[in-house]
Chains A and B, each alone.
Chain A
């Protein structure tokens, strides 16, 4: 059970993440000239936002320490923010600035924060074997740190997922595999790609405790992650959690989502943040004014990060040749 202060904190963190994603969405499109040109604007390239998936990040990261590791997918912002990655450096990286986490070398899909042991990759499922390796390192060093690999339900059909689960189970490593099932792998519905309804069967198949979590509820997700993290820390080995969440926006910014039909509107009705806000207000833990205050603070923090980014220098062109080798 989660105490009341924590519940409000969960809400605050989810609001913060949503404010971030919303601001990035607005800014990503705002200055694209021509509007259809993905390479134009202050935030060029692809953009994958996690509106709707905030409960997963917040429920998970509430169980993690700084020295626990996360490998995230191409849709990483909610995880990075919940983990504790510096919002200014992260934003500067997304804006391609020298003050970014990676001096502009990585961008939105390749955020590396070694202090937080946070990394993400644009190749589906390929962060999973790396998380296994981080867990292997923690286990060899004798710490009780854990590694978490986060990927989508589409990734669970990739070879790396299966190899990673098998290795983690065989070597009884302190790694937690989180599958964010948001129903869509770009335009392909889960039911068209995965023949089993309950993906937690795959964890069982590899000999590890396994659970599917419905409801996209931050507190239930927190509890499920807590069990898994505690198990890993105690030397009990890996866990697979398949967490049903919702992708409220497109796969990428610019995705017209015609393939979703009526489901898109229905999915947006499942927005987890207003639902949680309502619960907390009913429970007397939050007032409308406090909610508005939390939102305003989040938006201000996000704007400050964007200002930091946009006022930061770009890297020198010759920096392109740096860092090939240490």
Chain B
């Protein structure tokens, strides 16, 4: 169920919205528990589990040793036996040390067992860059995960969606990878876009997995995006109001991908810009273009503009990193190009 946001709704950070979603599910379902590195008293290094240890203690909020294969596998085993673990992979970039458990086990057990065994687990992880954390700590990688069948992937861009998607993810009987961009968390120690703080209803509510949202309605151009890039796209859309009517689609989920929403918008505008902080080639932006090409390429009045992270590892120096990131200026240029 959705929940109404009115003028009086209190505003919180995305980080707080996530931990609140987890807390509410933990209060109503004793099978939910959390495991990960520094998720206990520390509250998660990006704040995803803030306050949970104080409320639920060490039996339900478990600090693990540095053993991703071990504790992600343990999450799978617990889920297979009917519990509902929320397991945190501290940085998505660390998937290399534990991806077998993720893509060969978590994602495949339901299929391999012919539907007889479920894995109702949430794997949450921090993604993204823009604060000089360099090549091994700044990646998005949703396309890498999306490419492997068997796991849902959700990517909130704002606090309201973050809480609703977390609750949906915990209630889903499938493995759901919950990818939160560090830059949308509203952390006090990282520069933030004001959109990382927002109204979040106090009661429980869900946001459907697999459904995009029209974050800003428009008619001249469709801009499809996700995660922190949605915030940049909205800034640009608001700036261009009066000049260009920009429709911003916030995907919210990568798997399932809401192809219908993308097609409906492009059918309306005929012009498509994709803004994606993950690597450009062999990934999500290409999949979105394929969605159009598979259906009806004549929908497009102009070629597609892809504003993505280039196919280079993330550099450390700010001037280098920002040369590569899909920034507001690049989004504006892309919109100008397709609407010229």
Contact = CB atoms under 8 A, between A and B. Distances in A.
A105 B115 CA distance: 9
Contacts, number: 148
B150 A133 contact: no
Interface string A105-118: 11000101010010
Contacts of B67: 163, 166-167
Interface in B120-147: none
Given A137-B83, A138-B81, A322 B115 contact: yes
A128 B105 CA distance: 12
B114 A102 contact: yes
B116 A114 contact: yes
A112 B112 contact: yes
A128 B73 contact: yes
A126 B105 contact: yes
A112 B105 CA distance: 12
A323 B115 contact: yes
B174 A114 contact: no
A126 B110 contact: no
B267 interface: no
A211 B174 CA distance: 39
Given A123-B104, A170-B65, A133 B116 contact: no
Contact of A167 (B65, B100, B115, B118): B65
B79 interface: yes
A112 B78 contact: no
B78 A133 contact: yes
A273 interface: no
A318 to B, nearest CB: 14
B263 interface: no
A133 B75 contact: yes
Contacts of B100: 123, 126, 160
B225 interface: no
A231 B305 CA distance: 63
Contact of A134 (B72, B78, B110): B78
A118 to B, nearest CB: 10
B141 to A, nearest CB: 21
B81 A164 contact: no
Contacts of A141: 81
Contact of A160 (B69, B114, B116): B69
B43 to A, nearest CB: 21
Interface residues of B, number: 42
Instruction: Choose among B109, B149, B173, B174 the residue with the greatest number of A CB atoms under 10 Å from its CB.
Output: B109
Instruction: Choose among A69, A121, A131 the residue with the greatest number of B CB atoms under 10 Å from its CB.
Output: A121
Contact of B77 (A105, A129, A323): A129
B194 interface: no
B26 interface: no
A137 B78 contact: yes
B64 interface: yes
B113 to A, nearest CB: 4
Given A69-B81, A121-B105, A126-B100, A132 B70 contact: yes
B71 interface: yes
Given A69-B81, A324-B150, A129 B112 contact: no
A129 B111 contact: no
A188 B223 CA distance: 55
Contacts of B289: none
Nearest to A138: B81
A103 B65 CA distance: 38
B118 A129 contact: no
Contacts of A71: 77
B74 interface: yes
Contacts of A305: none
Contacts of A128: 73
A112 B101 contact: no
Given A119-B117, A137-B81, A130 B112 contact: no
A117 B81 contact: yes
16 contacts: A69-B81, A101-B116, A102-B112, A102-B116, A103-B114, A104-B114, A114-B116, A121-B104, A129-B69, A133-B75, A134-B77, A136-B74, A138-B81, A140-B78, A163-B67, A166-B65
Given A69-B81, A166-B67, 8 more contacts: A114-B117, A129-B74, A132-B74, A133-B76, A167-B65, A167-B70, A324-B110, A326-B115
Interface of A: 69, 71, 100-106, 110, 112, 114, 117, 119, 121, 123, 126, 128-138, 140-141, 147, 159-160, 163-164, 166-167, 170, 322-326
